[in-house]
């Protein structure tokens, strides 16, 4: 027996923590780019689990991988080696150009590992007093205490003070501001190549290259949080390709498991040496089920033809959003992003437009107060993008006539 939407929400409100604001929608089934609610209503999903379900919902090949691995081995902990883990590590390091991998359960946990590695590496090499990390204003790095301490948005940090000390915030894209803060107390710079939760903000074209050069000059580690931008989302295997920069540390999540909990830290050879036995671990990280799935997913994502298709569809989608913005100058400010990580910045709150789209059968995320974020499955079709654009024009006009 399937519960109704009202029954599911009532049970949830009674038994779940009220720590998130959920849309009044109970989803019970998904296939590809579509999901269905408890009453059978169909929606085109342009959220994809917040840039997570790269191949959409319930891809048959993923079901096959999980079914096959579930008959072999689920979990053994990090006390032992397992084959899918080492094969995925090999694939990710070879693809990224980095040397070592650590697997965990989420992007936030990957960022925690990166923070620990950066501080331990600096302590080992330079001694105490060089432990601070520069991050960007408007950034988002996760909900755990270390990750939230690194997040450059006060609304996420303030309720949980005192936080982990040692983080310095500078405006994203302002090289001079970052350079002024990079003194002898800094061990690392942590940045999202494109800010996601902050509103799909791309940096100036030469910004990340200049930051990388400065970090190398000052013997400071460069960490890229590619939890949202990584693994095909921007039309490249990793977003750092767009900027001609390879970081020292790279964090991944979301598309690594496409809905199955998984995260990873990739590191260059020297900083990787900092985390020796006993310094960091996780019980469930690297579990065979997650690793077998990740191996299949990443193998498909990094295929050149797949990435070329994502880039093409992203360009098509962005052109459509830019035309929409030009046609509705009173309601919209601009469209931006890379690949299939796009944002439409409105001149008024975006939440009501997101709600109007839901009533029309489209799921879109509202973030940064005025931004509609579009992160559909990477398998989305141009015809589905056209449907969304048509509904979006209608929704904006309905909510904000002029």
362 an active-site residue? no
SS3 label, residue 36: strand
If we measure between CA atoms, which residue out of 139, 200, 193, 218 comes closest to residue 171? 139
Element (H, E) at 123: helix 107-126
Strand ranges, E, within 137-285? 167-170, 186-191, 221-225, 249-252, 263-267
Instruction: Decide: helix, strand or coil at residue 199.
Output: coil
* SS3 (DSSP) at 262: coil
CA separation for the pair 275, 63 (Å, rounded): 34
- The position carrying tokens 């579990």 is 287
- Contact call for residues 140 and 192 (beta carbons, < 8 A): yes
Q: Which residue is catalytic, options 103, 120, 254, 313?
A: 254
Single out the catalytic residue among 45, 225, 237, 248: 225
3-state secondary structure (DSSP) of residue 297: helix
Residues 6+ positions from 19 with CB-CB distance below 8 Å: none
* E strands, 211-257, in order: 221-225, 249-252
Q: Among positive and negative, which fits the CA dihedral 54, 58, 63, 66?
A: positive
- CB of 373 within 8 A of CB of 342? yes
Give the separation between CA 98 and CA 151, rounded to whole angstroms: 25
Question: Is 224 considered catalytic here?
Answer: no
369: left (phi over 0), alpha (psi -120 to 50) or beta: left
Active site includes 317? no
Choosing from 55, 102, 103, 140, which is the catalytic residue?
Answer: 140
List CB contacts of 337: < 8 A, sequence separation 6 or more: 194, 200, 202, 314, 318, 343, 374
Residues with a catalytic annotation lie at 140, 225, 254
């Amino acid at each position: 027996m399937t519960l109704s939407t009202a029954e599911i929400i009532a049970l949830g409100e009674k038994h779940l923590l009220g720590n998130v604001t959920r849309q009044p929608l109970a989803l019970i089934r998904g296939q590809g780019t579509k999901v269905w609610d408890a009453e059978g209503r169909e929606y085109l999903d342009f959220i994809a689990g917040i840039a997570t379900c790269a191949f959409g919902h319930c891809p048959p090949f993923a079901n096959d991988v999980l079914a096959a691995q579930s008959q072999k081995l689920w979990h053994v902990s990090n006390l032992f080696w397992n084959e899918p883990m080492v094969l995925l590590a090999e694939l990710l390091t070879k693809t990224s150009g980095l040397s070592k991998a650590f697997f965990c359960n989420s992007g936030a946990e990957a960022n925690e590992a990166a923070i620990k590695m950066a501080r331990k590496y600096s302590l080992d090499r330079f001694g105490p007093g060089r432990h601070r990390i520069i991050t960007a204003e408007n950034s988002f790095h996760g909900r755990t205490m270390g990750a939230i301490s690194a997040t450059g948005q006060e609304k996420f940090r303030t309720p949980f003070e005192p936080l982990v000390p040692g983080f310095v915030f500078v405006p994203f894209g302002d090289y001079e501001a970052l350079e002024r803060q990079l003194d002898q107390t800094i061990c690392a710079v942590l940045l999202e190549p494109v800010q996601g939760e902050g509103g799909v903000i791309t940096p100036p074209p030469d910004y990340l290259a200049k930051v990388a050069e400065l970090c190398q000059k000052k013997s400071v580690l460069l960490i890229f949080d590619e939890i949202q931008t990584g693994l095909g989302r921007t039309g490249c295997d990793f977003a750092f390709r767009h900027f001609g920069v390879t970081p020292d540390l790279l964090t991944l999540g979301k598309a690594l498991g496409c809905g199955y909990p998984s995260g990873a830290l990739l590191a260059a050879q020297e900083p990787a040496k900092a985390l020796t036995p006993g310094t960091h671990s996780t019980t469930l990280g690297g579990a065979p089920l997650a690793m077998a799935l990740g191996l299949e997913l990443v193998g498909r994502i990094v295929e050149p033809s797949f990435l070329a298709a994502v880039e093409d569809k992203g360009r098509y989608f962005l052109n459509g959003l830019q035309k929409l913005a030009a046609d509705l100058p009173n309601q919209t400010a601009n469209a931006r992003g890379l690949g299939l990580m796009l944002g439409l910045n409105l001149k008024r709150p975006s939440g009501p437009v997101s709600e109007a789209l839901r009533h029309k059968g489209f799921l879109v995320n509202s973030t940064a107060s005025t931004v509609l974020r579009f992160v559909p499955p990477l398998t989305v079709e141009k015809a589905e993008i056209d449907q969304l654009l048509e509904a979006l024009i209608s929704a904006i006009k309905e909510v904000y006539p002029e």
